[in-house]
């Protein structure tokens, strides 16, 4: 037991012999142990805090006088603080008696070296209150007198304690406890400083003759024990670690051991608890320099682990003990001949188990969290496995278990090697001390003598280790121990029990790296299955596959040991594996469903990059793959397949015919009938044999790892293969049911049957496939249903166009639309090919159309403004307004003979003006529907079409370019750059010039270019460069450029519905100055004017509000007018500027006004606004029978005089005029105005 720090007490005899003293001491002990004691040593950078410091209170007289001793003692073996308890009621008593008592005690206390002292004056609470009332006393208090008599320097060693029996005031002890902490740590700090100086001095003499390690150890251990007694455990641990390092350094420097013999020959050395420090008088052996290396290493370990246990570092203690057992056993193994039989195994067995018990006892004193408890269980499991390993060694040597895996693995197990593990020179073997050859571990003695006892002990240890490993989450270690139990059942002929355990191992051993052990266990499981003559079902298949995985996963050196029990030679192993594979195939043939196996290492498939080639006379491509067979025997495969995915979830699969996978590597040709092209990401590889399906999914790739881990398959485009496309029709009619155009090109294939299915991942639109129509191409039969279109008997090199209506809106959004085609060809027989194509379809058009209407009498002028969408450059061929009849005559205001195609840019639009004449009719309900038809194309697409036609001419010289017309035309148009750079040249001169820095770079950057080229096909860059230069040369000449213009089918057509606008009341307002044209007009001069408003009901609608007010069949309505001149301040209007009139068809209302120009210049006449007057007799009922509202007819006013300007001259003189200011003034009555 670790000693505690001592504090002595003394006082007057009458106090110490009284009952009050017993109560006082008990009250003081209630404030112990001391808490939060701080120590700031000068030799250490930080403050140490002792959470709890236990104190032993002892009488002062019980401590004997110090005597000099060469044996170092701990700093707590002598008092760290001496306390004197003084009582005094008045000054006279203090002078006569108390001061002398304190002086006498102080003389003895100060003679004790390195011990602090403290004087405590006991005062009753009533005395303190009485002394406090004497505020003007001349003499000082007793405590002040004691301080004046005994204190030296700045330190105060006197404290007053207010206490009386029966009064428990915790605050009264504050000063005393504080002084005790200060005094104790002061003494301890001084002692540590002196002891550290002694340790440093002794260590510095290490190389001098006569230096003794045991003496140094005793000195430094006393310092470590002092720290431990003061609960400074980290400092104590540092001292023990430094002692161990010094010991190893001494061995390294002197090459001789400070100990005379190895040891291990004492009774119970093989079975004594490893971490016990009381099983031997270790300190006495060290002091007498007679301790053995065996005992010293164990004692030092026990001291280190004891401190770790107190600190709560139990896992570290367990791991340190395990490391020591493994490493020190190497030292013992070097002297195995001098030790008793099974001594090392018995010592390791007992040491590991005793460490487990000791650590388990420490754990009960601490509340470990989940992570710490898991780590402790893992360390405990290692110790239990270590003890179990020693039992296996003994079992093999006495014949209880065979020397085969997993038991034989214990023969090669060992610990780590340390420099101190080899017995140093100068160590006498144990046999010189008459070693004992008999064991003292009773468990092992029974296990050696009885196989049943051995099995019982072995199973018990294994279960304990399994529990520890399971609690720590180390499942693989626990499963390995389960396998050893199964092996024990197997050698004891308990085959059924063994098979149950072996059968559960394959699923649990996934990811394990113990291939040799796992293989042996599974081989034993297969052997048990064979001996029991059980049916080879799915359970047997799982065991067999797990065995093959472990076998090929083991090293070549370890593979023979896996089959030690069943096959010894290479030929026998080959025969065994061949039979196992054959049995595996037969067993799987009887299974009802496939047996999938993921990432089995028996096979592996590697793609050969850059070896993709087209099929010659049919759709599809071939690739090559290398299949590695890790077994020493050949394996028949029904199919080898590779799956890859491309953009928009396009999936392709390459499959081989039945093949034999030879030992090592086999090259296999794979075929994909799907006419896909582009770059695909390898997704999965498979090998099928009967119902066995081996597959290896590729790991998911991220943008950061795609260049490192992704395996890409690049498939060139086959221009002669079947193709399918999706897009919008060239002719779009707004206002009707929208349609999607699906185009199917058969290429080289005569298609016997093709099934087309449309889908939309976003579900924003719904296809009406049953309403689909064939718009182009020849086909024997077309069948449509709700989900698919079926085409039958389509000739080769045919293009089929089908329009499919849909519901929903694509306006302003982009929607991915996918078409899946499943087709069979005449040459392909029953082979069904599948093709998927996804296109991003944008519903927004590349142009916008706005309309503005102008009513002029019986004529209507409509101006249509056509503009780009802000991104595209467009070429508009024509815009026609169609749908005229006898009721409405339509004429274009643009000369058709001089019409030419117009180019629209994001910043430039164009206008089309049309005139419509509406004939008189009894009903306006029969007006025809009209439509605006715009024929256009984008400039980029036009250039591609022209380039493609030029390339078709070039194929006469180079036929090998036929398959590359599409991408070469796109490459040339892309090389032109942005349309903004060349559209003006194209518009004015009718030519195009393309001057890239390098045609070679254009070819390299073109994404549509085939990445892999057939060896027999001419794909040289020189031919491509020649083709691009050929296009450039032709495009420079206007004559050649015009020859390859767009044909009718190349243009896109947009049809927009146009409704004939109506206006209930059309007003034509005219202001006319009633003066001769040659008469000059001056500013301020009144001018007579005539206002005429002509109304027309010609453009009214059949349901207009104007028809609701009828008077004997005459269409009329009350109107109001207002002449506005204040908006610009140019005119002053006099006369009836506001008024009302009745609007009739073709009726003119006239008013005379006087206009006074307020300034000179070319002035515009005032504007006239005309609007209908609300009629209370015309009320429309509200919805739901609520309140009604007055509906007004539509009305528009045209300022006939809007373009006229009146020239007003400036005045140079004053004049007076007579102005009629009264609206209804009598005739001849005038007012003067100047």
Residue with tokens 């191992």: 505
Q: Which carries the bigger pLDDT value, residue 5 or residue 483?
A: 5
Considering only CA atoms, which of 682, 680, 687, 712 is closest in space to residue 699? 682
Q: If you average pLDDT over residues 346-361, what whole number do you get?
A: 94
**DSSP state at residue 418:** -
Domain 5-204: CATH class, spelled out: alpha beta
Beta-bridged to residue 59, according to DSSP, are: 9
Burial of 2 (0-12, 13-18, 19+ CB in 10 A): middle
Burial of 774 (0-12, 13-18, 19+ CB in 10 A): middle
pLDDT band at 1189 (very low <50, low <70, confident <90, very high): low
Q: Give the C-alpha separation, 503 to 717, whole Å.
A: 51
Please spell the DSSP secondary structure of 508-559, one letter per residue. HTTT-S-HHHHHHHHHHHHHHHHHTT----HHHHHHHHHHHHHHHHS-TTTH
CB atoms within 10 A of CB 1142: 15
Q: Give the C-alpha separation, 887 to 158, whole Å.
A: 127
Would you call 365 helix, strand, or coil by DSSP?
A: coil
Would you call 755 helix, strand, or coil by DSSP?
A: strand
Asked whether the beta carbons of 540 and 587 are under 8 A apart, the reply is yes
Q: Give the C-alpha separation, 400 to 398, whole Å.
A: 6
Q: If you average pLDDT over residues 1150-1169, what whole number do you get?
A: 92
List pLDDT tens digits, range 786-843: 889 999 999 988 888 899 998 887 777 888 888 999 999 988 888 888 888 888 888 7
List pLDDT tens digits, range 89-105: 888 888 889 999 999 99
Q: Taking CA 558 as the corner, what is the angle to CA 556 and CA 562, rounded to the nearest 5 degrees?
A: 120
| Residue 7 confidence (pLDDT) | 94
724-842, CATH topology level: Immunoglobulin-like (2.60.40)
Q: If you average pLDDT over residues 1215-1228, what whole number do you get?
A: 57
User: What integer best gives the mean pLDDT of the chain?
Assistant: 82
pLDDT tops 50 at residue 372 = yes
List pLDDT tens digits, range 208-230: 888 888 889 999 999 999 999 99
CATH number for domain 595-715, candidates 2.60.40, 2.60.120, 3.40.50, 3.20.20: 2.60.40
Same topology, domains 5-204 and 847-938? Answer is no
| Residue 373 confidence (pLDDT) | 92
pLDDT band at 429 (very low <50, low <70, confident <90, very high): very low
Q: If you average pLDDT over residues 340-352, what whole number do you get?
A: 92
pLDDT band at 480 (very low <50, low <70, confident <90, very high): confident
CB atoms within 10 A of CB 70: 7
Query: What's the distance, CA 364 to chain centroid?
Result: 42
Helix (H) or strand (E) holding 1134: strand 1131-1134
pLDDT tops 50 at residue 329 = yes
Of all residues in the chain, the percent with pLDDT exceeding 90 is 32
> Tokens for 1011?
């990445």
| Residue 1010 confidence (pLDDT) | 42
List pLDDT tens digits, range 435-471: 334 688 999 999 999 999 999 999 999 999 999 998 9
pLDDT band at 417 (very low <50, low <70, confident <90, very high): very low
List pLDDT tens digits, range 932-960: 999 998 888 888 788 778 877 877 777 77
Q: If you average pLDDT over residues 57-81, what whole number do you get?
A: 82
Q: What is the CATH code for 847-938?
A: 2.60.40
Considering only CA atoms, which of 597, 664, 657 is closest in space to residue 635? 664
pLDDT tops 90 at residue 36 = yes
| Residue 1213 confidence (pLDDT) | 63
pLDDT band at 926 (very low <50, low <70, confident <90, very high): low
Classify domain 1065-1233 at the CATH superfamily level.
Answer: Immunoglobulins (2.60.40.10)
| Residue 463 confidence (pLDDT) | 92
Q: Taking CA 1209 as the corner, what is the angle to CA 1204 and CA 1211, rounded to the nearest 5 degrees?
A: 150
| Residue 565 confidence (pLDDT) | 60
pLDDT band at 1111 (very low <50, low <70, confident <90, very high): very low
Q: Which carries the bigger pLDDT value, residue 599 or residue 528?
A: 599
pLDDT tops 60 at residue 510 = no
Domain spans of the chain, in order of start: 5-204, 257-473, 507-592, 595-715, 724-842, 847-938, 939-1052, 1065-1233
Please spell the DSSP secondary structure of 1153-1186, one letter per residue. EEEEE-S-EEEEPPEEEEEEPP-TT--BPPGGG-
Of all residues in the chain, the percent with pLDDT exceeding 70 is 85
pLDDT tops 60 at residue 1230 = no
| Residue 1008 confidence (pLDDT) | 40
| Residue 412 confidence (pLDDT) | 62
């Amino acid at each position: 037991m670790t000693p505690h720090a001592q504090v002595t007490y003394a006082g007057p005899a009458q106090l110490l012999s009284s009952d009050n003293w017993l109560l006082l001491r008990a009250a003081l002990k209630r404030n112990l142990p001391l808490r939060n004691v701080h120590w700031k040593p000068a030799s250490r950078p930080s403050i140490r805090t002792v959470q709890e410091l236990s104190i032993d209170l002892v009488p002062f007289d019980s401590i004997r006088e110090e005597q000099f001793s060469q044996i170092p003692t701990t700093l707590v073996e002598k008092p760290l603080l001496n306390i004197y308890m003084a009582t005094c009621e008045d000054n006279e008593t203090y002078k006569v008696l108390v001061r002398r008592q304190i002086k006498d005690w102080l003389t003895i206390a100060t003679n004790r070296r390195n011990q602090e002292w403290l004087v405590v004056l006991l005062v009753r609470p009533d005395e303190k209150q009485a002394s406090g009332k004497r505020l003007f006393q001349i003499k000082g208090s007793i405590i002040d007198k004691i301080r004046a008599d005994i204190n030296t320097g700045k330190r105060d060693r006197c404290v007053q304690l207010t206490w009386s029996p029966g009064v428990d005031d915790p605050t009264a002890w504050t000063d005393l406890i504080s002084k005790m902490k200060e005094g104790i740590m002061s003494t301890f700090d001084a002692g540590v400083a002196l002891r550290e100086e002694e340790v440093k001095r002794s260590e510095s003499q290490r190389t001098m003759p006569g230096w003794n390690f045991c003496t140094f150890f005793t000195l430094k251990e006393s310092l470590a024990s002092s720290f431990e007694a003061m609960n400074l455990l980290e400092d104590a641990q540092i001292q023990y670690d430094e002692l161990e390092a010094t010991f190893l350094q001494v061995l390294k420097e002197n090459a001789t051991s400070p100990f005379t013999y190895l040891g291990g020959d004492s009774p119970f050395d093989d079975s004594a608890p490893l971490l016990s420090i009381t099983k031997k008088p270790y300190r006495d052996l060290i002091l007498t320099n007679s301790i053995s290396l065996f005992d010293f290493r164990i004692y030092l370990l026990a001291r280190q682990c004891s401190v770790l246990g107190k600190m709560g570092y139990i896992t570290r203690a367990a791991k340190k003990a395990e490391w020591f057992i493994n490493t020190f056993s190497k030292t013992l193994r070097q002297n195995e001949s001098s030790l008793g039989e099974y001594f090392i195994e018995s010592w390791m067995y007992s040491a590991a188990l005793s460490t487990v018990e000791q650590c388990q006892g420490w754990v009960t004193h601490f509340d470990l969290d989940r992570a710490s408890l898991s780590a402790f269980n893992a360390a405990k499991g290692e110790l239990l496995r270590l003890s179990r390993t020693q039992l296996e060694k003994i079992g093999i040597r006495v014949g209880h278990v065979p020397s085969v895996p997993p038991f034989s693995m214990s023969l090669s197990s060992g610990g780590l090697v340390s420099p101190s593990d080899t017995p140093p020179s100068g160590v006498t073997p144990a046999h010189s001390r008459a070693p004992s050859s008999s064991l003292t571990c009773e468990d092992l003695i029974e296990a050696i003598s009885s196989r049943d006892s051995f099995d019982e002990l072995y199973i018990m240890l294994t279960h304990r280790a399994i529990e520890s490993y399971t609690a720590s989450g180390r499942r693989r270690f626990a499963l390995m121990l389960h396998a050893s139990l199964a092996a024990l059942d197997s050698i004891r002929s308990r085959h059924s029990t063994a098979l149950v355990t072996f059968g559960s191992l394959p699923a649990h051993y996934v990811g394990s790296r113990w291939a040799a052990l796992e293989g042996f266990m599974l081989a034993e499981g297969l052997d048990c299955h064979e001996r029991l003559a059980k049916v080879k079902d799915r359970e047997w298949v799982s065991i067999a596959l797990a065995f093959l995985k472990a076998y090929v996963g083991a090293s070549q050196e370890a593979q023979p040991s896996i089959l030690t029990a069943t096959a010894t030679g290479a030929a026998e192993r080959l025969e065994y594996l061949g039979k196992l594979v054959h049995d595996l195939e037969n067993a799987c043939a009887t299974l009802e469903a496939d047996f999938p196996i993921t990432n089995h290492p028996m096979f592996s498939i590697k793609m050969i990059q850059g070896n993709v080639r087209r099929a010659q006379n049919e759709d599809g491509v071939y690739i090559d793959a290398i299949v590695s067979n890790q077994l020493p025997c050949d394996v028949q495969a029904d199919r080898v397949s590779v799956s890859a995915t491309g953009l928009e979830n396009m999936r392709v699969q390459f499959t081989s015919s039945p093949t034999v996978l030879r030992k090592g590597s086999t090259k296999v040709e794979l075929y994909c009938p799907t006419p896909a092209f582009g770059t695909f990401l390898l997704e999965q590889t498979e090998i099928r044999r009967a119902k066995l399906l081996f597959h290896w999914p590729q790991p998911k790739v991220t943008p950061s790892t795609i260049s490192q881990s992704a395996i890409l398959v690049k498939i060139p485009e086959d221009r002669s293969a079947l193709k399918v496309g999706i897009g919008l029709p060239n002719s779009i009619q707004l206002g009707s049911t929208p349609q999607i155009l699906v185009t199917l090109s058969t290429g080289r294939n005569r298609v016997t049957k093709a099934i087309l299915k449309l889908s939309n991942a976003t579900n924003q639109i719904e296809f009406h496939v049953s309403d689909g129509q064939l718009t182009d191409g020849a086909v024997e039969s077309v069948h449509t249903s709700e989900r698919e279109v079926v085409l039958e008997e389509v000739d080769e090199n045919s293009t089929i166009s089908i329009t499919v209506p849909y519901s929903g809106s694509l306006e302003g959004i982009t929607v991915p639309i996918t078409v899946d085609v499943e087709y069979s060809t005449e040459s392909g027989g029953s082979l069904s090919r599948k093709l998927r194509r996804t296109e991003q379809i944008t519903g927004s058009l590349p142009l916008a159309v706005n309309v503005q209407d102008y009513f002029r009498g019986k004529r209507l002028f409509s101006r249509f403004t056509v503009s780009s969408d802000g991104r595209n450059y467009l070429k508009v061929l024509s815009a026609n307004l169609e749908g005229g009849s006898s009721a409405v005559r339509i004429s274009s205001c643009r000369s058709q003979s001089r019409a030419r195609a117009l180019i629209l840019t994001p910043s430039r639009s164009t206008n089309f003006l049309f005139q419509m004449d509406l004939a008189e009719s009894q009903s306006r309900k029969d007006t025809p529907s009209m439509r605006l038809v715009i024929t256009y194309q984008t400039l980029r697409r036009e250039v591609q079409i022209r380039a493609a036609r030029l390339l078709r001419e070039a194929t006469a010289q180079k036929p090998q370019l036929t398959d590359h017309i599409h991408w070469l035309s796109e490459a040339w148009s892309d090389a032109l750059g942005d349309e903004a750079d060349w559209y003006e040249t194209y518009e004015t001169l009718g030519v195009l010039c393309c001057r890239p820095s390098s045609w070679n770079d254009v070819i390299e950057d073109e994404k549509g270019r085939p990445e892999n080229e057939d060896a027999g096909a001419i794909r040289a860059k020189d031919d491509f460069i020649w083709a691009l230069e050929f296009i450039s040369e032709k495009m420079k000449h206007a004559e050649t450029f015009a020859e390859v213009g767009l044909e009718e089918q190349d243009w896109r057509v947009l049809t927009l519905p146009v409704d004939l606008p109506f206006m209930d009341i059309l007003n034509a307002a005219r202001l006319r100055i009633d003066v001769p044209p040659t008469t000059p007009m001056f500013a301020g001069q009144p001018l007579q004017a005539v206002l005429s408003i002509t109304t027309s009901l010609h453009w009214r609608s059949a349901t207009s509000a104007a028809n609701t007010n009828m008077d004997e069949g005459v269409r009329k309505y009350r109107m109001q007018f207002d002449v506005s001149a204040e908006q610009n301040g140019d005119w002053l209007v006099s006369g009836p500027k506001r008024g009302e009139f009745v609007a009739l068809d073709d009726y003119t209302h006239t008013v005379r006004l006087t206009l006074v120009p307020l300034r000179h210049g070319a002035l515009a006449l005032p504007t006239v606004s005309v609007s209908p007057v609300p009629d209370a007799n015309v009320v429309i009922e509200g919805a739901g029978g609520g309140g009604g509202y007055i509906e007004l007819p539509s009305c528009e006013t045209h300022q006939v005089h809007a373009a006229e300007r009146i020239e007003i001259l400036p005045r140079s003189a004053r004049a007076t005029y007579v102005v009629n200011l009264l609206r209804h003034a009598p005739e001849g009555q005038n007012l003067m105005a100047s």
